[in-house]
Every structure is written in structure tokens, then in C-alpha cells.
């Protein structure tokens, strides 16, 4: 997609981080916006910001883990603008760290509900709309470097993001098989300073984990927070890279190319039939102690 002016973009997780920057760039390109988030104050702030720039924007409170919420988002988008051309399945949360066997069932339910089923729900509600338009459209699914390698103490997050990568790849193949005019990109950033480190602020009460954290969970949280805060690439820079990929119809959006050495090592392990190598081989400074 090269001509974005006047087209309609939908962004989930629009209240902060990548989502807010996607909204800002789309507004700068004079797109009409439908912005979704589960945190109302953050959502209203972004909607107000882009409207102040003269852009038409609709804000919709949306819990992407709920299929009915995402369907309502799609319905309101089409009622307001008649079509959707660019979809960012971007909402995501972090947590559930520590040893796999110590991770709570509620952690699995929360992260998979948002990170994976949020993307599934977006695809199910919006792809049919794009196919109906029969014009150039594009879907961006936010995954992570954690969808390409398997770092220790990150089981739930790794699983959710690996699932988004393979879901996106399958969507790409299915759309080609259907001769659709819909492009797909999967965004795989490494650590970037965003509010994802404070995801617990929006955790549903019914999925709250009341048990005190285990030592492995404390270690995972401390390492993750330190890595996120120390990230040198900004959310705005990642958003610009993503829009470049949309313009070029490029599938993989790898924002930190140095991590590809770890991806290659993992693939070599698979091809050689050997045990998994240390994913921190090329970046030992972030290895858990």
C-alpha cells in the first residue's frame, strides 16, 4: 500500500507504545482512524491528539481477548467509515515469566487471550471486510523477537509470540491461495522502551494471580524490565519501520537485525538435529543470572 491518504486504519493497543506511534504516523498520512484500547484514559488522549491535527478518529474501548469486543470494533469502523484498509493487530501484554512449571494457569489465560486470541479475533472480524472491498489492503500483526527464538524464563510470552508468527505466515499463504489483494506483515521487535513492562495495570481482576512470586519469576521480571528500559530503539522508530514494510509489501519486519544471528543459530540446531543452543550466545549481557 503506497497511497494511504483517505484510507481507513484500525489500531488495537492504540493508547501507548507502538499503537500510539502507528496512530500518529497514520494521522500524518491523513488516514481516517479507528483506535482501540482497553485503557480508556490513554485511548482518549490519543484520539484527542490526532483529532487536534484535523484527522477524523473514532475511539472504541476494546478488550481484544473478547471476540465480541473485536467484532463490535469492526462494526463501528464500517458504520463510521464504510471500509477498513489497514489493520494493526497490535495490542499485547507481557508477564508470566519464570520457570514453565511455576507459571500459573491465569498467566497462560491472560497472555494467550490478549497476545494470540487478540490477533485471531482481529483476523476473523476484519479480513472478510477487506476481501469484500477487493482493493489493496494490509494487516500488521505485532509479534516479537520472542516469536523467533526461545529465551528461558519467558514461556508464556514466547508461546504467544511464536503463535503470532506462524499465524501470520499461514495467513499470508491463505490470502495468496485465495488470490486476495491483502498484504501481511509480522512485526518482530526486540526490547523497546514502552509501557508493556507495566502490563499488569490492565490485567482483568478475574485473571489476577494472587500467589506470591517465586524466585524464578522475580528474576524474570527484573531482567525483562531492565532490558526494556535499556532498549535504544524507540517506539516511534519501530513504527516508521513498520510503515515502510507496509509500503513495500514486506512480510518480516525485523527491527533489531543483530538478533538474526540467534535466529540462525536456532535454525542450525533444527537442521543439525542437535539440542537447543543458548539463545543469549550473541548477547550474554541480558542472560538471566
Phi-psi region of 92 (alpha: psi -120 to 50; beta: other; left: phi over 0): beta
Report how far residue 84's alpha carbon sits from residue 7's, in angstroms, rounded to the nearest whole number.
Answer: 7
β-sheet bridge partners, residue 58 = 34
Report how far residue 93's alpha carbon sits from residue 80's, in angstroms, rounded to the nearest whole number.
Answer: 29
Report how far residue 184's alpha carbon sits from residue 176's, in angstroms, rounded to the nearest whole number.
Answer: 10
Answer yes or no: 157 catalytic.
Answer: yes
Active site residue: 99, 157, 252, 280, which one? 157
User: Which residues are identified as catalytic?
Assistant: 157
Amino acid at each position: 500500500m503506497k497511497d494511504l491518504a483517505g484510507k481507513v486504519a484500525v489500531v488495537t493497543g492504540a493508547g501507548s507504545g507502538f499503537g500510539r506511534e502507528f496512530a500518529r504516523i497514520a494521522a500524518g498520512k491523513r488516514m481516517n482512524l479507528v483506535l482501540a484500547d482497553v485503557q480508556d484514559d490513554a485511548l482518549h488522549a490519543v484520539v484527542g491528539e490526532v483529532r487536534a491535527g484535523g484527522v477524523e478518529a473514532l475511539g472504541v474501548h476494546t478488550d481484544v481477548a473478547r471476540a465480541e469486543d473485536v467484532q463490535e470494533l469492526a462494526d463501528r469502523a464500517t458504520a463510521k467509515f464504510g471500509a477498513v484498509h489497514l489493520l494493526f493487530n497490535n495490542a499485547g501484554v507481557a508477564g508470566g515469566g519464570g520457570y514453565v512449571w511455576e507459571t500459573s494457569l491465569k498467566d497462560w489465560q491472560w497472555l494467550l487471550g490478549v497476545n494470540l486470541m487478540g490477533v485471531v479475533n482481529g483476523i476473523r472480524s476484519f479480513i472478510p471486510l477487506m476481501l469484500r472491498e477487493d482493493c489493496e489492503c494490509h494487516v500488521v500483526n505485532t509479534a516479537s523477537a520472542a516469536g523467533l527464538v526461545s529465551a528461558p524464563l519467558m514461556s508464556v510470552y514466547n508461546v504467544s509470540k511464536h503463535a503470532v508468527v506462524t499465524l501470520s505466515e499461514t495467513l499470508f499463504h491463505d490470502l495468496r491461495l485465495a488470490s486476495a489483494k491483502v498484504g501481511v506483515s509480522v512485526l518482530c521487535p526486540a526490547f523497546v522502551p514502552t509501557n508493556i513492562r507495566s502490563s499488569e495495570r490492565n490485567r482483568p481482576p478475574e485473571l489476577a494471580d494472587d500467589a506470591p512470586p517465586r524466585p524464578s519469576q522475580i528474576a524474570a521480571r527484573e531482567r525483562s524490565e531492565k532490558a526494556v528500559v535499556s532498549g535504544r530503539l524507540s517506539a516511534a522508530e519501530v513504527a516508521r519501520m513498520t510503515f515502510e514494510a507496509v509500503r513495500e509489501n514486506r512480510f518480516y519486519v525485523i527491527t533489531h537485525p543483530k538478533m538474526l544471528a540467534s535466529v540462525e543459530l536456532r535454525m542450525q540446531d533444527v537442521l543439525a538435529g542437535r539440542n537447543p543452543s543458548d539463545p543469549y550466545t550473541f548477547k550474554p549481557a541480558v542472560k538471566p543470572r
